[in-house]
Each structure stands twice: as C-alpha cells, then as structure tokens.
Structure 1
Amino acid sequence: MTRARNAFKDDRKLTHLNSDGADKPLISPVSQTTLDKARAYRLTRLREQMAEHDVAGLLLYDPINIRYAFDSSNMQVWTSHNPVRYAMILAGGPAILWEFKGCEHLNEGLPGIDEIRTAVSWMFMTKGDKASAGVETWADEIADVLGQHGGGNKRFAADKLDGPGLHALQERGLTYVEGAELTERARSIKSPEEIELMRWTIRVCEAGMARIYDHSVPGVTERELWGHLHFENARSGGDWLETKLLTCGPNTNPWYKECSDRVCQPGEMISFDTDMVGPYGYCADLSRSWTCGYTPMTDTQRRIYATALEQINHNLDVLKPGVSYAEFNEKSWRIPDRHVDYRYSLAVHGVGMADEWPVIPLHIDFDETAMSGFIEPGMVVCVESLVGENGSESVKLETQVLVTETGIERLDSFPWESV
C-alpha cells in the first residue's frame, strides 16, 4: 500500500503545496492588468447583448451576474436568496449598483461602476406588512432611471425578478424582456484574460483535490474529505462549493447523495464532483474517483472506471468548434445497456462563474426538447461521465475544456487513475 500511495502522490506532484514545498495558501500570479481587461471585456459582452435584444436597461439581481458585470462581490450566497442588492446597466448610459446599506465601500476601485446607490429592499423578511410600499418606492426609482437614460425605449431585461417587482414596473409602462438569455450568451464566450483567471481557480481546486487524495485513508468520513476542498478554496481566496457531492462505497450508487458521516472503508471507491466557485468567482467543475487506502481496484471497479474513461475520451474526440449540439449527440459515446439505469443525464455543459449554458444531454435523453446551437471558440465546457450498474459503486469523472479556433484544450491536469 505504501509503494502505491507514494507513486500516486508523485504522479500528483503534491499539488496542494507551493513551489517552495510549503503547505500554505496559494498566491495568485494574476496581474491587475489581466483582471482589469477581464472586467472590461465582460461588461462589453453584456452591453452587446443588450443592443442585440434592443433593451434600454439590464437589471441584475443574480449575484453571479453582478460579479460578472462589475467584479463586485458581497455576501454572495446570502444575496442569492435574499434580493437586497441589484444593479442596472443602461444602454449608452451609466452602470449603477444598488448596494446593501453600509456596504458601499466594498466597491471602491471597481472601474465598471459609474454610480453606487443604497438598495431598496422590499422582501417580506425585511419589510413585513410594509413590503408593498417598499416595492412602490423601488419601482419608482427604477422607472425614473430608465426614463432618464432609455431614450424613449421602455424595454428592460432582468435576470431574476420576483413577481411584485415585475408587476410594479409593468404598471409604470415598462416592457419586460427575459434576461437569462442575454446573460448566459454573454458569459458563454471567454476572453484570454478570463481563461487565465479560470486556470488559477482550477489550480486551487486541484490543490484541494490533492488534499482529499492525501487523506483518503480508512476511517475518514465523507464530510472530513469534503472539508479539505473547502479549506483549500477558502484559504486561497475562493468563494464556495455549489454542492456536497462526495461519497464512498455504496453511497456512490445511486448518485447525488451528499456527503455524510459515513466512514470510508479500505478499497471502497471514493467519488466526487467539485462544483467549486473559487478565486475571482470562477468555477472549477471537476470529478474524480479512486479507492480508499490507495488499494488496487477490484475487477468490477476497474471495468467501471475504464468504461467511464472511455466515455470521456470518446466525447473529447468529438468535441470541436463548429460542431452542432445535434451532431455531437449523433457521434457521442453510447452507454452500454447495463449502465443505462444508473446514468448521468448530460454529456456536456458550459461553465464559467458557475455551470452555464449550453447543456447537451446524454444521447438517451437527447430528444426534441434538447436545445439547438453550435460549439463555439471561446466556450469552456465540462465533459462528464457517471458509470454504475446494479449492485456496484459509481465512478464519476469530469474534465474542463477550452474550445479554441482549431480544437480543444483541457484546462485541468489532475491525473486519471491507472486501469
């Protein structure tokens, strides 16, 4: 066991350590110039989509979209379910951030924000029986801003907006345009500077994966292992984990059980999906599987792992710029019958600051409801596999890929297991 463990650790190059061999937070090499270019590019992408959809303003409540537009970050998880900060980009006009009261100073030095105002909250938690009055005050201000800068255009887009707010704006003569398409399409094509930021997030994620690997010994709990990824992400400037998908042994099948206090046993498969929102707000969405205690795989584990890796490699070969989603589906790897009932529902999905558009279902689930489109240069996508069968464990594998003008480039380098 010791020889196998050391071989694996050599292969992984102790990626949770710094270049000097010290176990301490990773220090980003990203320059301020790179960061500022990424910020400018992202705001331009949103303005381009606004022009294409002929909207006078784009109202943002999703904290990920606010981060994308301005690199403004404040209580990201809490504000994802409490609508207490928002922003609006005006076509040909200013970009305004309404910040949570007392937090205005958090946005100092962000070049994309032209004006900061104090947010008006109208959710029941903060206003109770006065919520209806709050929404009227809020809507008056939004309508006034659009009137000042809209040039007579009363069309506005919003990424997420609760019913009372939408109705109040419509009562003021404004026309709502669904904003999810605008933000998703804008975010789908990455600049070289964005890719540099994403590479660093993946570096931090792989350091966390190495830490998980280093502690994958008998007697550890699933939650303990998952905590190592949180630790590495937090201490190196990351944000949060979108899920808690790390399980071992029988908990891996069926998939989607979240980590528990189950103790991992020698030789059991440990499978996980990082879903990590890391430094600079970018997502590293990687999956790996290996055995507890670094033991050789059983024949069944080896066969299932090899099947999952076959799916990844086959679909990477199919993935090319200009390929339609339908063509990808036609040429994609076909899952054997014995694994169908334990399958993952998708083959490819976009990724940026979170999981993003597009999503290409697994061939079995690809039907008339599947979206249309093409793989485009500048997209970053995740190629996924989940393989299990009746009575077995599940193997989860996933890699993150940049689509270039001529092909693809894998952004992650954490090795697969030898089978």
Structure 2
Amino acid sequence: MIEKLNSPCSIPPHSRRIDPTRAPTIIFKPDGSANDNDRVEIGPTPLAFAEWQHLGLQPPHLPTMRAFRLKRICDQLNDRGLGGILLFDPLNIRYATDSTNMQVWTTHNPARACFVAASGYMVLWDFHGCEHLTAHLPLIKELRSGASFFYFETADRTSEHATRFCLQVDKLLQKHAGNNRRLAVDRIEVAGLRALEALGVEVCDGQTVTEHARKIKGPDEIRAIRCAVASCEAAIGEMRQAMRAGATENDVWAALHAGNIRRGGEWIETRILSSGPRTNPWYQECGPRVIHDGDLVSFDTDLIGVYGMCVDMSRSWICGDLEPTAEQKPHEHITTNIEMVKPGVRFTELTRNGHRLPESCRPQRYAVMFHGVGLCDEYPSIRYPEDLESFGYEGELQPGMVLSVEAYVGEVGGKCGIKLENQLLVTGTGYELLTHYPFEASFLRD
C-alpha cells in the first residue's frame, strides 16, 4: 500500500520520550541539524565537531546545501526540456534528498526511488517501514513505499510490481509536467523500463542530468568536503600509527575504517591497500600479509566520509625508519599536473600538456589523470594520452568543480609501486588544495 504524506511524518505516540503537552525548544548544531541525542538522521560526532573547531573549519549549513542541490537538478531538467527525473542510484537519491538508508545494500537492491519534477516537487519511495528516516526533510513533499521490483524481492511478480510503480510515476509526471512526457532516469530494472515505455513515457538519460548537476559544488558543499577531508586525514594519522612491523595490511586498513566511523563517516568503497611486493601491480586489496621493516605501504582511501562526502587521496609510506630505494623515489607527477588547473582549461589540454610518466611505467599507468569528486568519484574523467582516443571526451574546468589528481608509478615487473593522489577545488583564478596530509619525507629528497 502506498503511503501518501503531504507533510513530514510525525513520530508514533509510543515513540515519544518528551511530554507532548510541552512545546519543544529546538537547539541546533553548527550544521543546522537538531541537537537531539536521539535524532534519527546520521551525521558528525562530537569528536568531529571538536576537531573541526580546533582547525577553524566552518561546517556546512545543511538546509541551505539541500536547497542548492535541488535547484541544480531543476536547472538541469529545465535546460534539457525534461519534465522530471526518476532516481534509483542511492548516491543520486542522497544528492536530491540528503536522505540515507542502507546505502551499500540499496546499491545492489534497488528498493528506494525518488521522483523530482522540473518544478522541484519531490517524491521519495523509501524501504517499507522507513518513513521516519526522512521526517526532518521538508523538501520531500511525499513519502511512499513500493519501489522494489527486483528479482530477490518480487521474483515472478516483478512485471506486476514494476507496472504498479510506473503508473504512479506516470501520474506524477502528468500532474507536475503537463504534456511533457520526457522523463530522465538514472538507472532502472528492465521491467521498469519496459513499463514506462509502454505508458508512452519518453525515457531519457538521467546520468547526464545528475553528473552535470553534481559537478559544481556550492559553498556549503565545499565546507562539507573540507570537514570530511579533515576527518579523513585524522583517521589516516591513526592508520600511520597502526603501521608497524608485524602488523597485517588489514590491521592498518582497519584503523582507517574505525577512524572514519568514529567521526560520523559512512563507508569505504574499496579496500585498496597493499605492502611490499603486493604494491606492484596496483589494485591489490588489503589482506593478511604481514608488514616488515623497509616495506613500502601504498593505499587509496576511496572513503565516503561525513555528510556523505567522498575523500579520495592516496599516500605511500615506508615501514620503519628506513630510506626508500632508488626505484621507490617518486616523480613530481601530480604536483606538476596540479599546476595546470584553472578555470577554462579544456580536458584535452590537461591530457596533452600533463607530466609524462617514465616510459617504463606507462603500461601500468593509472586509469585517469584527474577525476571529479563529490559524493563519490564523479564527472569528469580525464585520461592519459595513451587513452585519449579510446576513452577521452571534451569539456572545461569551471569554478566550483572538485577534482582528484593522481598517479600510480610502478614499472612492469618492478618490486614495488607508489600511489599518490590529492584533492583540490577549482577556484575563480586557479585552485585550492584540499588535502594536506604530508607525503613521506624521504620520498621528497633527491
């Protein structure tokens, strides 16, 4: 059954812990969220707020950030002549609504959906029994359930449930977009696509809408990213303390997870940390290998931190008080490429004018030179010269874009490999470096 709510959900009487006859006094945290120890929404912990205050960081104002994001989506829809957008990707739903619910689980079990009309009218279908999770979000005008039509949930009744859901979407499109039958969709099960098309809906690419909406960060999103970076770097410091001879790769990686969660971060998308000979070739995930003095340890955070913001940075360390070997000396690759960043620079200019890896390391080059960062790795993806013809596309840098610049340096058949990556903001005149955790000092000496 569909639950239709035109105002935020009220808490069931049996859940109340405050005398309902007393008018509540709402106290807010620095980010605009309610200072309620029993609140439903997730967010930064007191440890995170204390660390940010010490660093002089201003948290985002969440209501303003949410309004900015909704306007970005609506502007994209109107610019492209679309009546609305239907979202299933949990990160796009997060961007549109700032709501979370089992983010990793719903990545492979699409049980939540969101409709946003070009006018800004927003409807969220949440997992059943979860209406209370979004009661604090007034931009969501209706809360419903019943968006599940994947095989695990619906088996041989999948088409039935897909049709029922799509009829709702069609009615919303007719009500809020009139004769405009053009609906963007970011991703959908096959049964849902067929049901929408059978209703005469023109299904358009939704990923173009969301990626271009998300590419420019507003002031509060930038504040959120700075806070997320600070919390991630504090956790990296705890990782560094956990790295010692006799520890396993998993011991070190666990410190990053723990530090992220302790501060209110959310999850980590990969587990790419390796040591010694496992650093070459790249992309080996952490395991039970015991680290020894003199081992190289390289990692990529790929971390979804506080406010759902991605912190994507890489470092390489030497275990113990030892000097790296000659082949472990890093190249001035990412620092050179960062200096090219400024508004108006074309993606292909970055590719063609960037620092070249040593020829012996090019076969094992990283997938990209630069990529966007926000709630995860985002548009754009800027390639190395070797990949420009096959995968490259054009565009230009704009103020408000957040990028990661990275490189993996490891020879084919080499004993080890170094991974380095920094995150930066494109400003009106150049860039601002967002990640500040230092590189290994011994790598910087000639």
Q: CA deviation at 1:73?
A: 0.6
Matched, 1:105 2:123: no
Equivalent position of 2:211 in the other structure: 184
Equivalent position of 2:113 in the other structure: 86
Match of 1:279 among 280, 285, 306: 306
TM-score w.r.t. length of structure 2: 0.85
Cα distance 1:149–1:408, how it changes in 2: closer, same or farther (>3 A)?
Answer: same
Match of 2:406 among 384, 395, 402: 384
Cα distance 1:320–1:88, how it changes in 2: closer, same or farther (>3 A)?
Answer: same
SS in 2 for 1:318: coil
Equivalent position of 1:323 in the other structure: 345
- CA distance in structure 2 between the aligned counterparts of 1:96 and 1:312, rounded to whole angstroms: 43
- CA distance in structure 1 between the aligned counterparts of 2:440 and 2:418, rounded to whole angstroms: 11
Q: CA deviation at 1:376?
A: 0.9
Q: CA deviation at 1:289?
A: 0.3
1:372-393 Cα distance to aligned partner (Å, 9 max, x none): 0001110000000110113221
1:92-131 Cα distance to aligned partner (Å, 9 max, x none): 2521111111110000111321111123322111122222
Equivalent position of 1:289 in the other structure: 316
SS in 1 for 2:195: helix
Q: CA deviation at 1:168?
A: 0.3
Equivalent position of 1:361 in the other structure: 383
Cα distance 1:335–1:91, how it changes in 2: closer, same or farther (>3 A)?
Answer: same
Alignment of 1:389-404 (within 5 A): 389=411, 390-404=413-427
SS in 2 for 1:219: coil
- CA distance in structure 1 between the aligned counterparts of 2:159 and 2:297, rounded to whole angstroms: 50
Equivalent position of 1:115 in the other structure: 142
- CA distance in structure 1 between the aligned counterparts of 2:235 and 2:164, rounded to whole angstroms: 46
Equivalent position of 2:38 in the other structure: none
Matched, 1:242 2:269: yes
Q: CA deviation at 1:32?
A: 8.0
- CA distance in structure 2 between the aligned counterparts of 1:36 and 1:295, rounded to whole angstroms: 49
Runs of 5+ unmatched residues, structure 1: 1-23
Q: Is the 8 A contact 2:60 2:224 kept in 1?
A: no
Q: CA deviation at 1:369?
A: 3.6
- Aligned residues: percent identity? 41
Equivalent position of 2:362 in the other structure: 340
Q: Could you tell me which amino acid in structure 2 is paired with residue 338 of structure 1?
A: S
Q: CA deviation at 1:262?
A: 0.5
Q: Is the 8 A contact 1:25 1:232 kept in 2?
A: no
Q: CA deviation at 1:51?
A: 0.4
Matched, 1:221 2:248: yes
- CA distance in structure 1 between the aligned counterparts of 2:60 and 2:348, rounded to whole angstroms: 39
Q: CA deviation at 1:33?
A: 6.8
Equivalent position of 2:3 in the other structure: none
Size of the aligned set, in residue pairs, is: 391
- CA distance in structure 2 between the aligned counterparts of 1:417 and 1:34, rounded to whole angstroms: 35
Matched, 1:202 2:225: no
Cα distance 1:83–1:264, how it changes in 2: closer, same or farther (>3 A)?
Answer: same
Equivalent position of 1:414 in the other structure: 437
Cα distance 1:31–1:266, how it changes in 2: closer, same or farther (>3 A)?
Answer: closer
Q: Is the 8 A contact 2:149 2:189 kept in 1?
A: no
Q: CA RMSD, aligned part only?
A: 1.5
Q: CA deviation at 1:40?
A: 0.7
Match of 1:262 among 285, 289, 308: 289
Q: Is the 8 A contact 1:184 1:356 kept in 2?
A: yes
Runs of 5+ unmatched residues, structure 2: 1-45
Q: Is the 8 A contact 1:86 1:119 kept in 2?
A: no
Q: CA deviation at 1:143?
A: 1.1
Q: CA deviation at 1:298?
A: 2.2
